[in-house]
Structures are given as C-alpha cells and as structure tokens.
Amino acid sequence: MKKIPVIIDCDPGCDDTIALLLAFANKVLDIKGITVSAGNVHINNTTENTRRLVGNFSSEINIARGCEKPLFKTIVTAPEVHGESGIGNVTLPETKKEIEKLNAVEYLAKTLKEATEKITIVITGPMTNIAVFLMTYPELKEKIEKFVIMGGSSIGGNVTPTAEFNIYVDAEAADIVFKSGVEIILCPLDVTMKAFIKDDELLKIKSIGSLASEVAFGAIDHALSFYKQTYGRDSVPMHDPCTIAYLLNPNIFEGKKAFVATELRGEFTYGETIIDYNDKLKRTKNVLVLNNINREAFVEMLYDSIKKI
C-alpha cells in the first residue's frame, strides 16, 4: 500500500493523544514529524506530553516545539477539560527522546523543502504554527498535499455559544489557513460529536492490557469525566482522532464541499466558523466539511489500532 507522508501539528491533549496513538499504530502513515502547538495546555506541557508519547511509542519521529501564544491574542487553555498536565492523570514513563533544535516553523520549512513528494499536514490544535509557516514560506505551500483539520462548528461552539476551541484560540491563524488555497478536509464538531466512545467500549480498550491501552484509557476516561460532569453524557467525543481516521479510511465519513470562513470581528461571535453548506454566499467552496461518520467502524478502528501498539 502506498504510504501517506504526513506531519502532525497538535496540542496533546487527551484526544490529541488518541490521534497520535492511532497514527503510530498504522504504518501506512509515514510521519515526517510532529510540530507542537499551545492550546489545551501551555506549550511546555504539550511539548513534554508529545516527547513522552513519541519516546514510549514511536521513538524515531522528530518533534519540534511551536509557538507559545496565538498571533495576536493572549493564550486560552483548557485544563478543565484535559487536566493541568494535558493528559489527565496519565503518567507516561520517562524517555530519553529529545526535541529538535529547530522550532516548529523552521522544521516545517526544512522538511517540506527536502520532501520529494507532497506532504499532508494534520492539524488538531490552534493553527498558529501553520499560519506563521504559510506567512514566512509562501513558496513552500506547493509542497503541501492538503490540510486535514479538527476545528470549527456549524452546530454551536464549545468555548463560546458559537466558537469551537481550536479556532477560538487563534481565529486569525485559522483565517490564514482557510484562505491559503491549499486543499482542506475539515472535521468540525458537526462530525466529531458523533465520533463518541461509550463506557463499555472504553472498558474494552482498557482490557487490552498494554501500556498504550492504559494511556488511551486514562486519556479518554479523563475527558469522559469532564463530559459527564459538564453535559451529563456517558460517552466522550473523539475530536482529533477523526483527522487520522479520515486518512486511514475516508469511506467511514460523509461530507460536503462548502465555503468556510472564520469570524474575526464579532463582539460575541469571534472564532465562529461560517460553514456555508447551502451555498448562500456563492463563494468558492474551499473546504470538504465532514459531517457524518460510521461510529461503529471508527471505534473498531481505534480498538484494533491501540491493540497493535
């Protein structure tokens, strides 16, 4: 099977952790590097979480630390969802894995300059690193195959009444990415809220009995406790893993091409994503928006993948 060269830009993060485990388990993904963003928690924590995840489960992958704040705003984090460390109460074993000396933007530039084929960039956190890269190295845009992004929503926000977290943290960066002209596959809350794991399915993952399943259970269970307390739910949406799942099997998703933009000036709507499913604005349909998923197939993919690590 032809390998898919990817770079993952993420802010681990409970669901980012599951996305990374899913990526590590499936060798069809040729992971050219992981660039770390600030979002769920401070850049120091997201970088350390990434270092330990890679060091324990896929030690050859390069890691580059990214921007510690959004382009213009102060950083907004979500420790109430992901815990102070960023992965709940999960304790990842120590590892000798080292972070690259290049920062995320320079690592992206070096990797894309040297690439012999286009690279897919997966984004599961605020888009600051990618926006700075696009502004600094516009000539390298042609080396990007596409963006696969978790972010946005047309069904209401999870940070404000209208804004989803990844966009809200740095809407200006998201605006630069949405206007980049690069092909975009978007996994908004429209689809990720349908990609949930139920209690019994989580216990099946725990029963695998490996370090990977222990880490996955701890990360998901922590997020589940937030959704139980906040929304009274007995299931937890797996936002970020949808991006990797799409690359592994796009057939378990449904979607629609649409014009997508980000609100930057609304007093109450800053960070809202306008997803024009019905083409009311007659603008170029710049994004394939995923809005449905075969949940059972998704959960089976997660279980089978974690079992392989």
Per-residue binding letters, 92-131, with ligand RIB (x by CB under 6 A): --------------------------------xx------
Per-residue binding string, ligand RIB, 160-179, x by CB under 6 A, is ----xxx-------------
Assess 39 for contact with ligand RIB (CB under 6 A): yes
Residue 305 tokens, joined? 């993948």
Binding at 55: pick from Ca ion, ligand RIB, none (beta carbon under 5-8 Å per type): none
- Specify the 3-state DSSP secondary structure of 302: helix
**Residue 35 or 112 with smaller CB distance to ligand RIB:** 35
- What gap in Å lies between CA 47 and CA 121, rounded to an integer? 18
Tokens read off for 253: 């998703």
Number of residues near ligand RIB (by CB under 6 A): 15
Listed ranges 14-22, 214-222, 227-235, 257-265: which one lies at the site for Ca ion (CB under 5 A): 14-22
What are the two backbone dihedrals, phi and then psi, of residue 32, each rounded to the nearest 5 degrees?
-80, -10
Comparing C-alpha atoms, which of 141, 121, 138 is closest to residue 10?
Answer: 121
Task: Report helix angle 14-25 to 295-308, nearest 10.
Answer: 70
CA angle, residues 26, 227, 55, in degrees to nearest 5: 35
Neighbours of 95 (CB within 10 A): 14
Closest by Cα among 282, 71, 259, 254 to 178: 259
Return the residue of 9, 16, 272, 276 that touches ligand RIB, per CB under 6 A: 16
- Comparing CB distances to Ca ion, the nearer of 78 and 293 is 78
Q: Is 188 in the site for ligand RIB (CB under 6 A)?
A: no
Q: Which residues of the chain form contacts with Ca ion (CB under 5 A)? A: 11, 13, 16, 124-125, 240
Q: Which residues of the chain form contacts with ligand RIB (CB under 6 A)? A: 11, 13, 15-16, 39-40, 124-125, 150, 158, 164-166, 239-240
